[in-house]
Amino acid sequence: MSITKYQIFLKTAACGSFSKAAEAMNFTQSGISHAINSLEAELGVTLLSRNRGGVVLTADGRALLPQVEKLCAAHHSMMQTVESLKGMDSGLVKVATFSSVSFQWLPRILKSFGQLYPNIEFEVVTGDFYDQIENWIVSGAVDCGFFRLPSTKHLQTYSLYRDELQVVVPCDHPLAQADPFPVEELATEPFILLEEGEDYEIMAAFDKMGIRPQVKYTAREDRTILAMVSEGLGISLLPRLMAKHSPLPVQICRAPMQFDRPIGIGVKDEKALSKSTKLFVNYVRTWVAENGDE
């Protein structure tokens, strides 16, 4: 049995096409297709349905997907243990993150960490919501992840940063210099809401202020919201970590009340960490303490 075929199956199912999976795994498209065909022949079932738009899981593929995920996670865990037993500063670390951390911190963290430990490789996956990231850690799909504290899954966590929610408005907004932004205006202005799944971080802030926003738009990406605010489509309430480094011109105002988003990094079991994952988690804690506000 080749574990690579199962890894290729997972990546292809996630990407939805042979070409995207080939690019992500540094394979040729024909190599990806051949691996999937070979795996289907070995198992005697069709895993993926091919069409002009890409590929989708068949009913058999959906049924086998959780087992394949467990198989690949177990193989990854075993290889991490092997590398630790060798005493080498090498291996693969799978990291889950969310948009503002992946945009503001992670590239710089990986660059400086890589200068110290060039033989450690990384696979970075971005989650839409915090609970999704925690589920990945619990299942073993990733080794560690960034998310909002406290953990809802009782993971081992390390506090990194308190990220303050701030009001984001267009640069030419008449209240662009308000400090703080008036609560009554926050309740009446057209509002662009960040979709949060089951997290309800931003709506919880409105509940504490005793107001309801006039939601005109909802978007999943905070960078999309920053672009919409910059174009004058409305105002928003976003974490400072993302807003202060907006790629487009916006004005940031202090919120009527202070709301913090505690960010941490978490693992399933500190005692079972590979050496490479432990090195990375410890490095992240030091790096954020020294550079998190830059």
The predicted-structure confidence for 210-254, as pLDDT tens digits, reads as follows 999 999 999 988 889 999 999 999 999 999 998 988 889 999 999
CB of 78 closer than 8 Å to CB of 274: no
* Residue from 4, 3, 21 nearest 12 by CA: 21
CA–CA gap between residue 267 and residue 275 (Å, rounded): 13
Calculate helix-pair angle for 3-15, 18-25, nearest 10 degrees: 120
What is the value of pTM for the model shown? Answer: 0.72
- What pLDDT is stored for residue 235 in this prediction? 98
In degrees to the nearest 10, what's the CA dihedral of 242, 243, 244, 247?
80
Does 182 score more than 90 pLDDT?
yes
Q: 260-294, pLDDT tens digit by residue?
A: 999 999 999 988 888 899 999 999 999 999 998 88
Annotate 255-294 with b (16+ C-beta within 10 A) or e (fewer): bbeebebebbbbbbeeeebbbbbbbbbebbeebbeeeeee
